[in-house]
């Protein structure tokens, strides 16, 4: 172990904390105070200081916080991406309606022009004058009936023309509003992307300060924390009431998720070579013939909530108070999920993270 390792880790945590704060919008800062540097003689005489479990626990907690913030930003990115796709599709449909409406408007104008020209050819004389000048009164009366029909048709034509013009104005206004919202979502997506990459970079920087043995000890601490949480969850007796079998769709979703084991986590990804947490669950259920919302937060908002004691394989467990993580329950107290950057799709204990609730896609 090199000299000053403990101090290095402490400094790394401090730097990462600073990076996290800098990433937050609307934060003001005072001018930094220069940090005193150790003299060469002091560094040379410093004795090796081992990194304690307490230090590594602080690292673990900070990493959890960084990756949690990255997960929240990933959900925001995915939501903006989905909304942008939806708005782009709606803009395309509105454009088609505008084109069709313009063609219809041109046709109606041609018909209106033809009607006006026909009226002009009659000379525009009053009915009484035309009757007096007519050699055949019956022919005139027949013609008058046709004129009345023509007038009614003309009124209908004008009304349709007016409606078409109003529709075109509405389509244009809707398209303009969608373009504005699309631009807002693009900006939100860009901001979320920046936050995701910033948080992940900070976490990776913190981990890079650890040596191989320290990383191994850190991994053990993470496993111990997860095991402790899972044991407490199981000790609550939650599994004794869980016995519902999976639906046919649930079995298909679990089969899909299981086939992705070992594939890497990648934020914003939804397969087939990599996934983020909600990318895995949404694709699994899409493959089962039951499309669900793309993000964990929308899955929590839109899908049917069920009690933990009633959950069955294929149901989704939503984690943390902000619904920033989601996993698929596969039975026997276990889940399949895409944990975080640097990890792969894996099986874990359902109670290894704080559970917000359970949702059922095929309710």
- Tell me how far CA of residue 96 lies from CA of 82, 90, 156, 248, in angstroms: 22, 10, 25, 40
Query: Is the Cβ–Cβ distance between 318 and 325 less than 8 Å?
Result: yes
Q: Per the residue annotation, which of 17, 68, 305, 325 is the catalytic one?
A: 325
CA atoms within 13 A on the CB side of 266: 10
- The three-state secondary structure class of 330 is strand
Name the catalytic one among 17, 68, 305, 337.
337
Compute φ and ψ for 328, nearest 5 degrees.
-105, 125
Q: Is 277 annotated in the active site?
A: yes
Closest by Cα among 67, 117, 99 to 277:
67
Q: Whole-angstrom Cα distance, residue 31 to residue 43? A: 28
> Do 275 and 325 meet the contact criterion of CB atoms below 8 Å apart?
no
Residue 325 among the catalytic residues: yes
Query: Which of the 8 DSSP states describes residue 303?
Result: S
Q: Residue 3: which H helix or E strand, with range?
A: none
Catalytic residue among 17, 68, 277, 305: 277
How far is it, in rounded angstroms, from Cα 1 to Cα 50? 7
Burial of 362 (0-12, 13-18, 19+ CB in 10 A): buried
The set of catalytic residues is: 277, 325, 337
């Amino acid at each position: 172990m090199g000299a000053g390792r403990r101090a290095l880790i402490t400094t790394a945590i401090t730097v990462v904390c600073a990076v996290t704060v800098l990433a937050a919008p609307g934060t003001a800062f005072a001018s930094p105070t220069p940090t005193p540097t150790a003299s060469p003689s002091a560094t040379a005489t410093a004795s090796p200081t081992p990194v304690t479990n307490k230090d590594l626990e602080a690292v673990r907690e900070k990493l959890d916080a960084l990756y949690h913030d990255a997960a929240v930003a990933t959900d925001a990115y995915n939501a903006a991406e989905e909304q942008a796709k939806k708005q782009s599709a709606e803009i395309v449909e509105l454009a088609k309606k505008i084109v069709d409406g313009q063609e219809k408007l041109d046709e109606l104008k041609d018909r209106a022009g033809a009607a006006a020209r026909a009226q002009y050819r009659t000379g525009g004389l009053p009915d009484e004058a035309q009757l007096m000048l007519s050699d055949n009164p019956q022919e005139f009366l027949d013609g008058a009936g046709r004129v009345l029909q023509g007038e009614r048709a003309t009124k209908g034509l004008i009304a349709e023309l007016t409606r078409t013009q109003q529709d075109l104005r509405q389509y244009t206004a809707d398209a303009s509003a969608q373009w504005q919202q699309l631009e807002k979502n693009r900006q939100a997506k860009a901001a979320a992307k920046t936050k995701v990459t910033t948080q992940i970079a900070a976490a990776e920087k913190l981990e890079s300060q650890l040596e191989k043995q320290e990383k191994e000890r850190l991994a053990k601490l993470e496993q111990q924390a997860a095991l402790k949480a899972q044991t407490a969850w199981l000790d609550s007796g939650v599994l004794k009431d869980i016995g519902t079998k999976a639906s046919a769709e649930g079995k298909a979703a679990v089969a899909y998720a299981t086939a992705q084991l070992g594939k890497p986590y990648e934020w914003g990804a939804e397969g087939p070579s990599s996934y983020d947490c909600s990318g895995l669950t949404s694709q699994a259920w899409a493959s089962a013939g039951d499309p669900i919302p793309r993000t964990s937060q929308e899955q929590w908002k839109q899908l049917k909530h069920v009690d933990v004691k009633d959950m069955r394989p294929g149901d989704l467990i939503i984690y943390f108070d902000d619904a920033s993580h989601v996993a698929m329950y596969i039975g026997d107290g276990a889940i399949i999920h895409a944990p975080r950057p640097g990890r792969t799709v894996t099986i874990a204990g359902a109670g290894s993270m704080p559970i917000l609730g359970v949702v059922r896609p095929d309710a």
